[in-house]
A and B are shown apart, each in its own frame.
Chain A
Amino acid sequence: MKKLLFLILIFIIGCAHGVQKGDSTYHFAVKIPKGWWQLETDKYFLITKDNPYLQYALIQERPIDKAFQHTKKKLERGMLPQEAADVILDEIGADINVLNFELIENTPATIDGHEGFRILFTYQDKNGSTFKTLYYGFIKGNIFYNLRYTAAKRHYFQKDLKTFESFLDSFRLIKSQAT
């Protein structure tokens, strides 16, 4: 978490709202909620309203053959959403920064018409703060797309949940570039 925060602060580029078009970096388009800041890291498309420690939404395009950091499991082309969710849950569970992980929900979901999964969980960081994450994921070709919303469990998660849902609804793969 601290590493992520550090990256975020380093690459902070300012405030943006409107429509983020897919470009050479990303193969998707998404509408950034009004008043949210777009932060750029080399790994994610990430936005926040106040600061990432309070809430953030991110989108990641991850090649499925890229090794995970905490487990030796792999995502594969043709995997069922449930199988992909299990791989992700194992990876999250093995992460040092995720303490007292508690899975609340793991269900199928559709993201921009693609069959995927939706997982909801809480965890604590090393400072004892509790966070809640809503994590959507799906595999398209050789890319695993994931869209996450993480916020301080108390107060912030519920407060910005609807905004994240709108953000999620606006997500579109750009067909010409999506593999």
Chain B
Amino acid sequence: MRKAFLIVILVFLAAGCATTVRPPVKEDLLSNEDEKIIWRRSLEEQKSLNASVVILQDKNLEDYLDQIVQKLQPEELPPGMSFKVVVVKDPYLNAFAFPNGIIYVHTGLLARMDNEAQLAGLLAHEMAHCTQRHTLRALRSITDKPAFMVSAQQTLAGLSMIQEVVKFLGLTGSMTAVTGYVRELESEADTVGLDYMVLAGYDSYEVLRLFEHLKREIERERITEPFFFGTHPKVQARIDTIMSLLETKYKDKRGGIKNAELFLSKVNQAILENARLDLRIGRFDIAQSGVEKYLRIKKNDARAYYLIGEIYRQRGEEHDYDKALAYYQKAILIDSSYAEPHKAIGLIHYKEGQRVLAKKFFESCLLLAPDTPDKAYIQGYIKKCVNDREG
């Protein structure tokens, strides 16, 4: 019985990766059993995702995002639907919505945006998926259920370069996050989303700029990500639909709210966090762009200078150590009590055989942070520095 139920769920939820659909359903979409199943499943996935460490805790940003969705949302929403945006600490380009209105945006995508209008454009697209009940419509269009099941399973199984967030997603989230919907439904989300954006007074051309910017970056950095917004053809499709709408339906609607400064002041912590994540996965150039963007907003942040230093030290190409040292020194100049750059300078001198200098910085690190987690390593370096001098 349980197995049969699971199969039914899988078949329903596999709809997200459909390649063909019937025309959109016309009948009343309220309170259907199949929709209830999807919502229940969505809640379970959200619970697991929200309880994980991948959610960015930033109350200031959460409040700001709530304000934006309130501006965008239509007056009437389907029963039980309520919009909420959650930021996920993940450096890859993605945003996705569960059918009950909970939208997840990756820091990777936030870090690429320049203003509130671009963010509004993205959120409006995701909100349109919910208000137009795309998950439900997609599942009702399934004609070959076993084939869809196989397709869904293959999509999930193929995610070998998996990102942090997918670890916590079930099938619903994985489908909406990874494959997106069929072309017709994505185009409808572009159209309806642009309506929401214009009605809220945003500059609708900014959403086009965002997708063009993403496309250029995907090409330049040769980004190959499994997620929807990190996929070249899908971003190109967004550009085509939006451009067509801007040239026709909205050709007289230039200008509107951009809120660049406000946006950057709200997302700056997410940008810095994202740069840390890019560094963790070894995307040094992207990490550097992120920290530089952050530094344009917050000019005197020791953590940001330390992070650029780390990018250079860990990359370790020619002259990188010299550049790293300069950034560590800047960090210390801003905050002399910050232990991390002391340790990092010590490491560089230690590797270069400058034991006296290395010892000095290791000792100052331990003085500033006596309980640093890598205390045992640092004590070992100091001991070696002493032994080498004595030897």
Interface residues of A (CB under 8 A from B): 69-74, 76, 78, 80-83, 90, 93-96, 99-100, 106-108
Contacts and interface: CB of A to CB of B under 8 A. Distances in A.
Contacts of B351: 78, 80
Interface of B: 52-53, 159-164, 166-168, 280-283, 314, 316, 347, 350-351, 373-374, 376-377, 380
A6 B160 CA distance: 16
A76 B376 CA distance: 22
Nearest to B168: A99
A94 B374 contact: no
A94 B280 contact: yes
A108 B167 contact: no
Q: SS class of chain A's interface: helix, strand, loop or mixed?
A: loop
Nearest to A68: B282
A73 B278 CA distance: 11
A76 B161 CA distance: 22
A82 B380 CA distance: 11
Given A70-B161, A80-B347, A96-B166, A90 B377 contact: no
Contacts of B280: 71, 90, 93-94
29 contacts: A69-B160, A70-B161, A70-B162, A71-B280, A72-B281, A72-B282, A72-B283, A73-B281, A73-B282, A74-B282, A80-B350, A82-B347, A82-B374, A82-B377, A83-B347, A90-B280, A90-B281, A94-B163, A94-B164, A95-B162, A96-B159, A96-B162, A96-B166, A96-B167, A106-B373, A107-B376, A107-B377, A108-B376, A108-B377
A95 B281 CA distance: 11
Contacts of B160: 69, 96
Nearest to A108: B380
Nearest to A90: B280
A7 B283 CA distance: 31
Nearest to A115: B380
A90 B164 CA distance: 12
B380 A71 contact: no
B282 A106 contact: no
A70 B164 CA distance: 10
A99 B49 CA distance: 11
Closest 7 CB pairs of A and B: A72-B282, A96-B162, A73-B282, A107-B376, A71-B281, A82-B377, A71-B282
